[in-house]
Chains A and B, each alone.
Chain A
């Protein structure tokens, strides 16, 4: 958490996150209330999953990356938080994104979600409206698809899918894929039109307990099309391969 201390905006958002996380405490401790409610209505629950908190080693500059999600609510309605970001080991935060969403169950396996996304980094800071779906597709793919409309009127989208392969009960291999798209060129963010990048990851985790798992893995990101050209013009490599190690935990 020390990683995103730089920048006051982030501090505020972090405080918000921690408040949310701490709400899970009362939900667990409020037994007297729940005892009365047990039959009448399911309790309000909260959970926070730090899915990735990892060190990435690469040819260029090494970084620390994170991705987490949490929610508070009941079976049907939830307040949902996503956050992700990246910070070079040396230097300030490069990417930091927060999403605050209302999530509603629409079927056994799917939620629709809507809310705001706030990118603190990269600069300039950008606010988006978010609409999306999250759920489990047939064959157990965990899928998130989101559309974003920025305060500048730019439309973009993101599709993520991940899958758990149990090698044993505790050793789990998780491939994941992410595709980012943009409906137009966004000069300030060095984004071209079309598919801007894809990311493929493979993480092997060992669940010491269900709630805590260290992992190792590999991540490969490739900028495509116009976005790749922009990167090349800036003298950057459009592809990025990193070895990684980290921890996954939830409570």
Chain B
């Protein structure tokens, strides 16, 4: 890193010295570092730096002198020129995540003719903003994003903003490790489960056998072992510090409000590998935008946050008591924390930590294999009284075509397509009229591999003691009565411009080999298989079929995907779609941006291990 010092200007040196002196207060507020919207030209240097998180200092890379990088405050319709200078001793790039722009400006090396920015070189990005909302930017080279190369983009709408707020903050979540990205990738490839320190042990076996019975527990362990899969495989990498705007949990980034103000939080998941569960205990959030695109307001208590996604929420903090913004990774190995307070220096309570989930056979998409769907008509949910949604993750009702949901009073049919009951916290099946016990005799749970009666009992018990055990990937441990955002809730604020039925369907199988740490799309590593080709102007459907037991935040560059979540005519537009383990999720899009776009899992090490392809939108030739 001594080479870097050659590039240091006097001012940089002073800044570094200042940083060293103020351990724990390394980065500037993203807001304070903003560029005025009037600026037509921005200069951003990429350089090696050090970051101190909760008192621990390690290597990092900064864009524009800070981590996170300065928030770019821009205006819709504006022409933006951004000069990026590479002061590293390795190639770099910056990708504008979620922005609609010409292919070469997208900044992904190897796509659309963009070549990496060589050390010492300056690349000039030039594009016109065709959208408004919350987005972000990050490196698309090697593991640089993991080392700190990420920042927020806030684009004010050209017209009146439908979202009214008195005050706003960018809340950029990220994960930071003292390990170099290459070392992380090597460990993942060389030693299976290297970062999993929560594997199931003999001690767990005896505990589960006590709780669920011996035969159930033995069968469960045999099922997993037969597949050579690990039920504790929630996150590939551990050892992270979880940051809010570059600050660790102890550093406690604080947002100031005046009681009664409407505060807009532009929340961005800029992590390399971390899916979060986000909540502000005592302060409901109204989601007003997803992935930068306005949605009909939805009031929630918490949401699950895929890597690369953004949510804008409005909160109305009252009184002068501090609120804790709390984001727990799904493997519960720590938390990101910030505070909303009336003045600096206040700290809210750290809420109780949520239980870590154990994956179930349903997360493999296997729970209903070979099941007689006809027999499902006899399933009696009313007997499952007292089973909160958290206890039902093993049951994906969307896979049960034989079951007549329309009989469930109080549940609109419109909400049914693709419904996953496990995502519906607070739902009480015992209240479903028309599904009384009498109407449904003869349900035989033993026909459901991986879901026999024994494990049902186990689930019921788990529900009773859900503080120490959550079952299935989707179980966020949401308390009864609390509302967690579901993808089905997202409804675009504006009507879709293109409502044509897709003319063809592209299936994208998400697969991988955990033991070797190879991740693939349709069975192929990046550039091993054929790219996806779509004709310009076509309306297509993409079906993501997740064959793995991990969730994959699938990101398409260049175009928004319209999530098929039942909100006909108002499908939410997303640049990242989180596909849960064992599930199928579909999106539609109009291929109206010609180019060769990266299409990949936004988990950094999945992408690096092959989970990427080219999505090519081809201009029709003259003869057509």
A169 CA to B197 CA, complexed, in Å: 6
**A61-90 near B? 1/0 per residue, CB < 8 Å:** 000000000000001000000000000000
Q: Given contacts A166-B200, A166-B201, are A39 and B608 in contact (CB under 8 A)?
A: yes
> A108 contacts B203, CB within 8 Å?
no
Give the distance to chain A from B566, nearest Cβ to Cβ, in Å: 35
- B515:A39 contact, CB within 8 angstroms: no
| Interchain CB contact under 8 A, B90 and A35 | yes
Please report the C-alpha to C-alpha distance between residue A119 and residue B210 in the assembled complex, in whole angstroms.
Answer: 51
With A and B bound together, what is the CA distance between A38 and B108 in angstroms? 12
For the complex, what is the distance from the CA of A28 to the CA of B515, rounded to whole Å? 21
Q: How far is the CA of A102 from the CA of B609 in the complex (A)?
A: 22
Q: Which of B517-547 contact A (CB under 8 A)?
A: 518, 525-527
| Given A32-B90, A38-B141, A47-B190, A140-B225 contact (CB < 8 Å) | yes
Neighbouring A residues of B183 by C-beta, 8 Å: 28
A39 touches which of B110, B180, B191, B202 (Cβ 8 Å): B110
Q: How far is the CB of B203 from chain A (nearest CB, A)?
A: 6
Interface pair A45/B89, CB less than 8 Å apart: no
Contact residues in B for A47 (Cβ distance below 8 Å) = 190-191
Chain B residue nearest to A75 in the complex (CB): B518
CA distance A153 to B142 in the complex (A): 50
Q: A181 → chain B, closest Cβ, in Å?
A: 27
Considering the complex, give the chain B residue whose CB is closest to the CB of A32: B90
Does A210 count as interface, using CB distance less than 8 angstroms?
A: yes
Chain B residues lying within 8 Å of A75, measured Cβ to Cβ, are 189, 516, 518, 525
- B222 proximal to A (CB < 8 A): yes
Instruction: Point out the residue from B109, B180, B182, B228 that lies within 8 Å of A140, measured CB to CB.
Output: B228
- Contact in complex: A35, B226 (CB < 8 Å): no
- A84–B610 Cα distance when bound, in Å, is 35
A74 to B189, CA, bound (A): 9
A166 touching B202, Cβ below 8 Å: yes
Assign chain B's interface to a size class: 35 or more
| Contact present for B199 and A166 (CB under 8 Å) | yes
CB <8 Å contact, A210 and B194? yes
Collect the chain B residues with CB atoms within 8 Å of residue A45's CB. 186, 189-190
Chain B proximity of A172: nearest CB distance (Å): 9
Which of B89, B202, B226, B610 meets A167, CB within 8 Å? Answer: B202
Give the most central of A27, A43, A250: most B CB within 10 Å.
Answer: A43
**B506 interface hit (Cβ, 8 Å):** no
B418 at interface by CB-CB < 8 Å: no
Give chain B interface residues in 71-95, CB to chain A under 8 Å: 89-91
Chain A residue with the shortest CB-CB distance to B221: A139
Q: Which A residue's beta carbon lies closest to that of B185? A: A43
A-side contacts of B186, CB under 8 Å: 27-28, 43, 45
Q: How far does the alpha carbon of A158 sit from the alpha carbon of B226 in the complex, in Å?
A: 24
Do residues A109 and B608 form an inter-chain contact, with CB atoms below 8 A?
no
Contact with B along A86-104 (1 / 0, CB 8 A): 0000000000000000000
Interface SS of chain A: helix, strand, loop or mixed? mixed
- Please name all residues of chain B whose beta carbon is closer than 8 Å to the beta carbon of A36 when the two chains form the complex: 90-91, 116, 141-142
Contact B515 A139 (CB under 8 A): no
A84 to B277, CA, bound (A): 49
Residues B199 and A169 in contact, CB atoms below 8 Å apart: yes
* Docked pose: A75 CA to B611 CA in angstroms: 14
Q: Are B89 and A168 in contact (CB under 8 A)?
A: no
> Which residues of chain B come closer than 8 Å to A42, judged between CB atoms?
189, 525, 608-610
B343 on the A face (CB < 8 A): no
Closest-CB distance, A236 to chain B (whole angstroms): 38
- Decide if A221 is an interface residue (CB 8 Å cutoff): no
Q: Beta-carbon contacts of A31-57 to B below 8 Å, as 1s and 0s?
A: 110111011101101010000000000
Q: Which of B155-195 contact A (CB under 8 A)?
A: 180, 182-183, 185-186, 189-191, 194
Contact with B along A140-171 (1 / 0, CB 8 A): 10000000000000000000000001111100
Q: Residue B612 at the A interface, CB < 8 A? A: yes
With the chains together, A246 CA to B140 CA distance in Å?
45
Near A by CB (< 8 A), chain B positions 590-612 give: 607-610, 612
Between B110, B198, B199, B228, the greatest number of chain A beta carbons within 10 A of the residue's beta carbon is seen for B228
A38 with B143: CB separation less than 8 A: yes
Q: Does B513 make an interface contact (CB < 8 A)?
A: yes
Closest residue of A by beta carbon distance from B516 = A75
Tell me the nearest residue of chain B to A107, going by C-beta. B513
Cα distance A167–B189 when bound, in Å? 24
Residues of B within 8 A of A34 (CB): 142, 182
Residues of B within 8 A of A35 (CB): 90-91, 141-142, 144
In the bound complex, what is the Cα–Cα distance between A132 and B526 (angstroms)?
Answer: 30
Distance in angstroms between the alpha carbons of A36 and B117 in the assembled complex: 10
| Bound CA span A40–B110, Å | 8
Q: Which residues of chain B are within 8 angstroms of A27 by Cβ–Cβ distance?
A: 186
Contacts of B518 in A (CB 8 A): 75
- Indicate if A235 sits at the interface (CB-CB under 8 A): no
> For B116, what are the chain A residues with a Cβ–Cβ distance below 8 Å?
36
Query: With A45-B189, A75-B518 known to touch, is A31 a contact of B180 (CB < 8 Å)?
Result: yes
Residues of the A chain whose Cβ atoms lie less than 8 Å from the Cβ of B226: 138-139
Interface flag for A136 (CB, 8 Å): yes
Cβ of A5 to closest chain B Cβ, rounded Å? 29
**A167-B203 contact given A40-B527, A42-B189, A43-B185, CB 8 Å threshold:** yes
Within A102-147, the residues touching B (CB, 8 Å) are: 105, 108-109, 136, 138-140
In the bound complex, CA of A27 to CA of B190 (Å): 13
Which of chain A's residues have a CB closer than 8 A to the CB of B612? 39
- Closest beta carbon of chain A to B514's beta carbon, Å: 9
Task: Give the chain A neighbours of B201 by CB distance below 8 A.
Answer: 166-169
- Name which residue of chain B comes closest to A30, CB basis: B182
Q: Which 5 pairs of residues, A with B, have the shortest CB-CB distance?
A: A35-B142, A38-B142, A35-B90, A166-B201, A139-B225
Q: A residues engaging B (CB < 8 A)?
A: 27-28, 31-32, 34-36, 38-40, 42-43, 45, 47, 75, 105, 108-109, 136, 138-140, 165-169, 210, 250
A-B contact pairs, 23 of them (CB 8 A): A28-B182, A31-B180, A31-B182, A36-B90, A38-B142, A38-B143, A39-B110, A39-B142, A39-B526, A40-B527, A42-B189, A43-B182, A43-B185, A43-B186, A109-B228, A138-B225, A139-B226, A140-B228, A166-B200, A166-B202, A167-B203, A210-B194, A250-B190
Given A36-B91, A38-B141, 19 new contacts (CB under 8 A): A28-B186, A36-B90, A36-B116, A36-B141, A39-B110, A39-B142, A39-B526, A42-B525, A43-B182, A47-B191, A75-B518, A108-B515, A108-B516, A109-B515, A138-B226, A165-B202, A168-B203, A210-B191, A250-B191
